[in-house]
């Protein structure tokens, strides 16, 4: 049974750009309110291409209207309509990292945003797309129009939340749509007027990987964060088709990790949190770079990374 979203109330006074946002400051992470057997009947507010014309593929920034309690770093489930031909049952939910702060893109607290890559499968020999193998949910979302109904669940996940310590540094490593939770982090800590932003005394460092300059997601946000708090935000890019390593290879995020290992390890030794988010294929290369850097500092990598995990300072979300 769908639970219809209440008609959005007028935005609270606190949602004005000049006002401080305080009405969704939770004492603890909210419990999931909607499940797949009883999802929230929400609506698509907007679907916009999030990358430039010279970027390969298609990535959409999708805003969904519906009151669903969440905090930065969590995910929601989307239930695409239709029946799975393999099982004869309705499609299972697909989880997506939330790309907005808890207040939503407009500050009213009545929406949630996603960053979705349209998944298509092309024949490696002919290059022709096979519609039978396209991603069901990503295509459903990227094809959706404002006003369309969408069933959502959650919010879920506690592994990618911001640190409790307002003074802790955060190091964010994201490729492609893996930047979604980091958009929520940076909006909360650098763009919005929130108690969290006022208290935040740490430094945020974003490593972003993509194939072309046009593939950089949300460039305006990162520039605004740097302008707002220049001593607290920095960004390091790995643009694989445009940048090269000293050895003449394509530049990937793991190469930037190696380049900046001294500062990364210094920050981690002083309590920083490390976040990885993106496709599963990114994790081995990044962990290999961390392993090499740890061993060159006479650290046993397995012990070192286990220590970070035990202290809940190593956060990974890959898919």
The residues annotated as belonging to the active site are 96-97, 277, 317, 319
Q: Quick check: 251 and 244 in contact, CB under 8 A? A: yes
Contacts of 256 (CB under 8 A, 6+ apart): 207, 209, 236, 237, 238
CA–CA dist 146, 196 (Å, integer): 32
Q: How many CA atoms lie within 13 A of 141 on its CB side?
A: 30
CA–CA dist 73, 96 (Å, integer): 11
CA–CA dist 40, 198 (Å, integer): 33
Check residue 38 and report its DSSP letter. Answer: B
- The DSSP bridge pattern shows strands 40-49 and 149-156 to be antiparallel
Contacts of 267 (CB under 8 A, 6+ apart): 169, 171, 203, 205
Render the burial of 196-216: b for 16+ CB within 10 Å, e for the rest: bbeebebbbbbbbbbbeeebb
Q: Identify the H or E element spanning 207.
A: strand 204-210
CA–CA dist 11, 6 (Å, integer): 13
């Amino acid at each position: 049974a769908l639970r219809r979203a209440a008609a959005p109330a007028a935005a609270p006074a606190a949602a004005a750009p000049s006002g401080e946002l305080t009405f969704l400051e939770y004492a603890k992470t909210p419990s999931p309110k909607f499940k797949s057997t009883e999802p929230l009947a929400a609506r698509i507010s907007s679907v916009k291409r999030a990358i430039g014309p010279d970027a390969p593929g298609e990535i959409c920034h999708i805003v969904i209207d519906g009151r669903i309690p969440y905090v930065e770093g969590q995910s929601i489930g989307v239930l695409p309509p239709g029946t799975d031909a393999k099982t004869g049952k309705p499609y299972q939910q697909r989880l997506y990292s939330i790309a907005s702060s808890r207040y939503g893109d407009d500050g009213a607290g009545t929406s949630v945003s996603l960053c979705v890559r349209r998944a298509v499968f092309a024949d490696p020999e002919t290059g022709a797309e096979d519609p039978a193998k396209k991603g069901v949910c990503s295509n459903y979302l990227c094809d959706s129009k404002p006003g369309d109904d969408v069933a959502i669940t959650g919010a879920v996940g506690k592994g990618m939340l911001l640190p409790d310590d307002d003074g802790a540094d955060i190091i964010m490593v994201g490729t492609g749509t893996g930047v979604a939770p980091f958009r929520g982090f940076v909006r909360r800590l650098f763009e919005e007027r929130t108690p969290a932003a006022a208290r935040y005394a740490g430094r945020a460092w974003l490593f972003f990987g993509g194939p072309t300059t046009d593939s950089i997601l949300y460039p305006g946000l990162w520039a605004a964060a740097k302008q707002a708090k220049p001593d607290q935000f920095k960004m390091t890019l790995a643009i694989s088709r445009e940048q090269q390593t000293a050895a003449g290879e394509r530049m990937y995020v793991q190469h930037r990790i190696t380049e900046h290992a001294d500062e990364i390890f210094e920050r981690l030794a002083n309590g920083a949190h490390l976040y990885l988010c993106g496709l599963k294929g990114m994790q081995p290369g990044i962990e290999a770079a961390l392993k090499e850097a740890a061993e060159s500092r006479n650290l046993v990598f397995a012990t070192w990374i286990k220590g970070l995990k035990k202290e809940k300072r190593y956060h990974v979300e890959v898919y």
